[in-house]
Structures are given as structure tokens and as C-alpha cells.
Amino acid sequence: MGETMLAERTAAAAPRVQTIPVQAFLVADRLDTRPLERKSALAAAPLAIAVEGGGTAVVFRYGAVVLFECADAAAKKFLAALDTLLIDKFPEPDREDVQLIIRPDGDQLVDAAGRIVLRDRTIERLQLVADVLAKNLVLSHYETRLAAIFDRIEPLAATLRRKGRAGVPGKVLLQHIGTVLLMQQRMVGRVETGESPELVWEHPELDRLYMRLAEEYELRERGRAIDRKLEIVSRTVETLLSLEQTRSSLRVEWYIVALIIAELALAAYSLLPGH
């Protein structure tokens, strides 16, 4: 009897642990959040709103959506409702699923199983977790795209080494430059993966949590690695384009020289006796 009462008291005294499923999606290049802001928002910057059917959604202008404690049917309905607000929607969204553990006596970190552990579930902490997960998805997306760009650039560099020319039209090279410039603009102007979110400035007590989560997901290191790769791609493509333009200029100059020689030949021919 005494042991039973002791066990009950221990269980009552033990902190309540809560597990919250989290789904992060990258659905488009841009998401118009203005219509959502006019609804009953739970918090702003980043925008957090209640999901019909249960759960909380945090949405970002750069096309990311993070859902907390949202059933699959409700999540699917919510994402479908965003279709009219998406700009350059992806054929297949990028997705990551994690678990959020609320443990009052726990440390604020990512455990060995990849679960994020928080001491409480305030809306500010959910916003912060959503910010980290959204940036992680964006970085993964651009890492994949950069790998594909490197695969296309490598044969051009190999052709340049073998034949001394790019072997590709200037239009294609300009398209590669456009792709790199767009990625740089989106990384720096929209996502700001290397910067602390505005939420941290408004709630300084969250700075330590953000720094630990950003370190766990290596946000700044991966952002710098992407910047270096973009610089390499940009420099390579610009070099190839410069060589191609120089080659085209030389070709035009030879055409001009040939025309001048032809004109001189015709003039000399006309001066011959009998002409």
C-alpha cells in the first residue's frame, strides 16, 4: 500500500512530457501571406495562424509552411487552400517531419533521435522552431539545385580544357548566370539564413535557443558553403561567356578582314587593262 502511494506521488510529481508532430514543407518560390494576415493571426513575424481541424501553422513569404500538431487530413486541406497564394509552385514540395518534445525539466536542444526538446510550447518558441526548420528546408533545396548545376557546368569546363573553347551557346551561359543571380537574391534578400530572425530581437530570452538550434542544423555553415559554390559557378560561367564572346568577336573581325580583302581584290581587278 505504501509503495503504491509512493509510486502515485512520484508519478504526480514527475513533469508531464508532451510529443508534438511537426511537418515542414517548401511548396513554392514565394507565398503571398497578406490574405492570411487579415485572418485571426496568433502571432506575426513570422505569421502564425490556427489550422481548421486543429493545429498551428507558421507560414513564410519564401514559400515555407510549418505545421504543428496537425492531422494529415487537416494539413492536406490547409496546403490545398494556399494554392491561390503560391507563386512559382513546385511540382512536388520538399518535406521534413520531426518531433517536438515538451519537457519542463529538459534542455533546449536536438536529441540523438533528431527530436527538438523544449521546456514549454509558447507561440514564440513554436515560431522560432518553425523559422529554423523552414531555413533548413530552403538550404536543402538549394543544395540539391546547386548539385545539379555543378553537374551541368563540369562538362563545359572539361570541354574548355580539351578543346580550348566552351562549346555551348552564349544564351545557355547567360541562363546559368541568371539562375545563380536569382538564387543569390533569394538567399540574401528573402530567407536570410545567416541572420537571426526578428523574433529574437523582440524576445532576447530566445537568443540562446535559436543559436543552439541553428548550430544543430548548421544553418550558417551551410549558407556560407552555398555562397562559395554560387561564387564558383558564377565565376566559371562568366569566364566561359567571356571566352565565347572573345571568340565571336575574333570571328567577326576575320569576316571584316575578308570583306576588305575581297573589296580590294575587286578594285584591283577593275583597274586591270580591259576592265
Q: What whole-number distance in Å separates Cα of residue 74 and Cα of residue 77?
A: 5
Q: What whole-number distance in Å separates Cα of residue 145 and Cα of residue 149?
A: 6
Tell me what pLDDT residue 185 has.
67
Q: What whole-number distance in Å separates Cα of residue 67 and Cα of residue 130?
A: 8
268, HSE (Cβ side, Cα atoms, 13 Å): 6
Whether 2 has a pLDDT exceeding 50, the answer reads: no
Whether 242 has a pLDDT exceeding 50, the answer reads: yes
User: What are the domain boundaries of the chain?
Assistant: 14-121, 138-267
Phi first, then psi: what are they for 78, rounded to 5°? Answer: -65, -45
Whether 272 has a pLDDT exceeding 90, the answer reads: no
The string of pLDDT tens digits covering residues 175-201 is 766 777 677 767 665 677 778 888 999
Task: Confirm if 129 and 213 have CB atoms less than 8 A apart.
Answer: yes
Cell digits of residue 69: 500538431
Q: Which residues contact 78 (CB under 8 A, 6 or more apart)?
A: 51, 52, 57, 65, 67, 70
The string of pLDDT tens digits covering residues 110-145 is 888 889 999 999 999 999 999 999 999 999 988 888
Q: What whole-number distance in Å separates Cα of residue 37 and Cα of residue 47?
A: 7
Under the banding of pLDDT at 50, 70 and 90, the label for residue 73 is: very high
Whole-prediction pTM: 0.79
Q: Label the pairing between strands 47-50 and 56-59.
A: antiparallel
Angle at 17 between CA 15 and CA 116, to 5 degrees: 125
To the question of domain 14-121 being in CATH 3.30.310, the answer is: yes
